[in-house]
Structure 1
């Protein structure tokens, strides 16, 4: 692709290996189901959703020059994603994520994003070498950033002159990596997308509702925060404005991996299309509900 991307997605691009069963599961369960290998990773999930909403996303990540990496880049290109900025490593294998899902939700997951972490700031080169911007002429578009990056790299991104004009949309990769987003908690141009547990980890507290969590993030310095709580009411808080709350549509849950990424992508797409705060939140919740119900294609 030669056209300048509408949005840059920075973070994990990997293979999702997902086992799904229609049965409720617990530790030690051995049940029939289906196992699939699909393009995934937080940044890639967001990019795929953005492409479904008609945008042109570019990926900044690390992918190995192994057979799995070649397959992954080809799959991304077939989904109309710009893969030309991906750092391809001869020495690092392509990352993978493995999850088990039952009728009662996510049972367990392991994220192997060690190659992305090892690549470090090599993945950011297009933002400084003129392909997407430079320190003197920073990228001024929207950036979707995921927490699979190292703490050091996230801290670098938060103060990088090449991103001094960017609209930063930030999400953790998982609750276990939520605290990596602390450099963006007081960032003046960062929008945080977290779930209730992740919000609590960021501010070292516990909350009974998404609204409480979103307002606490803003009180701690966040310019803007969106907090989801599964099928319960979600909220958006902005410094100096009323907090918005909205309950997502009720649907039969058939999958959960990628739901938060779909929510974030739909919200970004809605705002880039001109939606107001309430409209963007509603569209994001509907898109996430469609996704978990299976109505949105993978």
Structure 2
């Protein structure tokens, strides 16, 4: 397939600090024996890195601090093939996510927004042929502002789940959520097009609350589920915007998500999206 998608991601950039333990602690409990790692993250940056590696021409609109972490996050995106000229340098420190992951790949995440609170559209222009993908780790005011100047396709990953202004729901060409987020946002039943992920049960497309497509998930024992939803968002957006039918785009996005859960990083390496159209092909670079 030809990937015909110029994608701009407007969103968060975080430095991920991850502790991997046998199990997640209960409230007030300390769990020892953890392994600590640091890596690039943030829902926006994860989606941009995935999109670029999957083959889309991708730029990132976001903000980082004037600190070493900010330089590292910018460099990680550049290395993934993302255009980084529209990443601003903020007065606040680079955003940080504190993550705990257990042996089954389940996680707990606390996000300190830092520079993400300073993401701005000042001086940013969008073309008619651009697809814009955003998430809710930046301010809702910015999401609302974004709905007006985007002349092309607007995709919103409504995560974490927050009520969306009616004008944003009406403007969005596609809204992507997981099943929990969908249940928390009943307003999405009236949205033009919604993609819902159901974990190991697959994913679906709904038009005005009615299912119009479904694809089963690939069975995987996850290493980490951090970043899987972000990779799914990137893959589905690219697939649909490149002309794939809905269910075919869902299947490819599910395979990309399955590849992500087998990697401890939130920004793993990927093959280009066309490799995920055939279930007999590898799902990650190392399998080639």
Q: Residues 264-279 of structure 1: matches in 2 within 5 Å? A: 264-279=233-248
Say if 1:184 and 1:49 are closer, same or farther in 2 by CA, change over 3 A. Answer: farther
Q: Is the 8 A contact 2:107 2:226 kept in 1?
A: no
Distance (whole Å) between structure 2 residues aligned to residue 47 and residue 263 of structure 1: 12
Q: Is the 8 A contact 1:147 1:181 kept in 2?
A: no
Tell whether 2:175 aligns with 1:171.
no
Higher RCO (C-alpha 8 Å, min separation 6): 2
Q: Residues 1-298 of structure 1: matches in 2 within 5 Å? A: 6-21=6-21, 23-27=22-26, 28-89=29-90, 91-117=91-117, 119-120=118-119, 123-127=120-124, 132-133=125-126, 139-158=128-147, 160=148, 162-163=149-150, 165-174=151-160, 178-183=161-166, 186-203=169-186, 217-218=188-189, 221-239=190-208, 243-294=212-263, 297=268
Distance (whole Å) between structure 1 residues aligned to residue 200 and residue 212 of structure 2: 19
Residue 243 of structure 1 and its aligned partner are, at CA, apart by 2.0
Residue 19 of structure 1 and its aligned partner are, at CA, apart by 1.6
Indicate the residue corresponding to 1:209 in structure 2: none
Q: Given the two structures, how large is their TM-score scaled by the length of structure 1?
A: 0.80
After superposition, the C-alpha distances for 1:17-38 in whole angstroms (9 at most, x for unaligned) are: 12223x2334125243432211
Distance (whole Å) between structure 2 residues aligned to residue 86 and residue 93 of structure 1: 14
Q: Is the 8 A contact 2:15 2:39 kept in 1?
A: yes
Gaps of 5+ in 2: 270-288
Residue 284 of structure 1 and its aligned partner are, at CA, apart by 0.5
Gaps of 5+ in 1: 204-215
Q: Is the 8 A contact 1:182 1:202 kept in 2?
A: no
After superposition, the C-alpha distances for 1:241-276 in whole angstroms (9 at most, x for unaligned) are: 752122201111110111100111111122233211
The size of the alignment, in residue pairs, is: 261
Distance (whole Å) between structure 1 residues aligned to residue 92 and residue 154 of structure 2: 28
Residue 240 of structure 1 and its aligned partner are, at CA, apart by 9.6
Distance (whole Å) between structure 2 residues aligned to residue 26 and residue 115 of structure 1: 29
Distance (whole Å) between structure 1 residues aligned to residue 152 and residue 32 of structure 2: 47
Q: Is the 8 A contact 2:17 2:98 kept in 1?
A: yes
Q: Given the two structures, how large is their TM-score scaled by the length of structure 2?
A: 0.82
